[in-house]
Amino acid sequence: MLHSVSTPSQEDKPKRSFAEFVAAVYEDERVGHEARELLLAVGYAVDLAKREDGVSPLKVAHRKLGVEQGRKARYDRLVADDAPRYKPPREAADWHPSGAPSCEGPRLRPYRPRAYKPRYQPNPPDVPLLADEARARRLPPPVLHVTPGYTPPRDWRTEDGVCGAQSHHRVLEKDPLTGWITAHWFCKRHKDHADRVAEQVREQNEQAPEPIPNTGGLLPCYFKADWEKVYRHFLPHWEPPRYGICADDWPSVDEMTARPTRHTRLRVVIGSLEGE
C-alpha cells in the first residue's frame, strides 16, 4: 500500500523550507501531539525523498514511527485517526446508566445538603481511650490553600434548580446549521420531560445537514497525495464527508453559527393632518 500511494508534495502551495514547515505545524492550533508526530514524520520523509532518489516517503514515515505494544505499526493508527469525520461529544455516547451524565430536568423538591456522618462510631464518653488510640483519633485540622480571590464553585443543584439524579433517558439534538449533536439526559422521574424534548427536536433532527467534520483532515492540508485511498486502506468502512477531506476546506463553525444582530427600530405612525 505504501508504494501505490503517490509521493506527497507541496506543488500547489508556496515553496517553503523544512524549518518553515515545522514552524507551521507547531503554530497550527488544530494539531494535537499525536497528529504533530505524524505530520513531522511525513514531512521528514518528504524532505529526505527530495535529497535522495528512490526513497518512498510514506515507507520512511512508517518505519520511523515504529510499532505500538510490539504488535501494530504506530503509523497505521495515526493515519486512521487523521481520517476526516465528525466525532460526537462524550456525553452523546450510549453510556451505561451508572456512568451517564446527571439529569438536567427541574428539581422536584428543594435541595438540602445532608450532615456529615463519621466513618466510625465514637466511643461513649465514659469509656476511656488508650494512649495510642487517642493519638490516632486526634487528627490535625485540615488546611486549605487557595489563591487570592478564590471563590468556591457554585452549587448548580440549589442555584439552577437542576435535578442532578442518575440519568436513564438520552435525547439527541442536532444543530440545524452544523449538524453537531448535543445530548440531553433525564432520570426515570423525568421521562415526561425526555419525551417532550424528543418531540420538540424531532423535526429539527430530520432536517439537520450532515455534520461538519471536527476531527482529522490534517494530512491533506500539508501534503498532496491520494489521501482518500490511504484513509480507505486503514479504515475500510470510512466514507469521505461531503465537505471534503481537507480540514482547510471545511466551513468555519463560528461563521455558520454567527447570526446578524437585530437592532430595535422605532415605528413611526403617520396620522391624518386634517383639522390642524
SS (H, E, C) 200-219: HHHHHHHHCCCCCCCECCCH
Same-domain status, 104 and 49: no
147 or 65, which is more confident: 65
User: 231, 244, 232, 251: which is closest to 180 by C-alpha?
Assistant: 251
- C-alpha distances out from residue 95 to 83, 100, 168, 182, 189, Å: 25, 6, 9, 15, 19
Q: What pLDDT, on a 0 to 100 scale, did the predictor assign at position 72?
A: 74
Tell me the pLDDT band of 149, cut-offs 50, 70 and 90.
confident
84's grid cell: 476526516
Q: Which residues contact 27 (CB under 8 A, 6 or more apart)?
A: none
pLDDT tens digits, residue range 160-211? 678 888 888 999 999 999 999 999 999 898 999 999 999 999 999 999 999 9
Same-domain status, 159 and 55: no
Same-domain status, 188 and 78: no
Any idea what DSSP says for residue 231?
Answer: H
In 3-state terms, the chain is what percent helix, strand and coil (to 5)? 35, 10, 55
145 or 206, which is more confident: 206
Same-domain status, 161 and 96: yes
Same-domain status, 63 and 170: no
68, pLDDT greater than 90: no
Which strand (E) or helix (H) includes residue 194?
helix 191-207
- Whether residue 232 is contained in a domain is answered as yes
Q: What pLDDT, on a 0 to 100 scale, did the predictor assign at position 269?
A: 45
Tell me the pLDDT band of 47, cut-offs 50, 70 and 90.
confident
What pTM was estimated for this model as a whole? 0.68
- Whether residue 239 is contained in a domain is answered as yes
- C-alpha distances out from residue 153 to 150, 159, 221, Å: 9, 11, 41
SS3 90: helix
| CA–CA dist 218, 30 (Å, integer) | 8
Domain with 164 in it: 88-109+155-211
Residue whose C-alpha cell is 461531503: 242
Which strand (E) or helix (H) includes residue 156?
helix 156-159
Q: What pLDDT, on a 0 to 100 scale, did the predictor assign at position 73?
A: 85
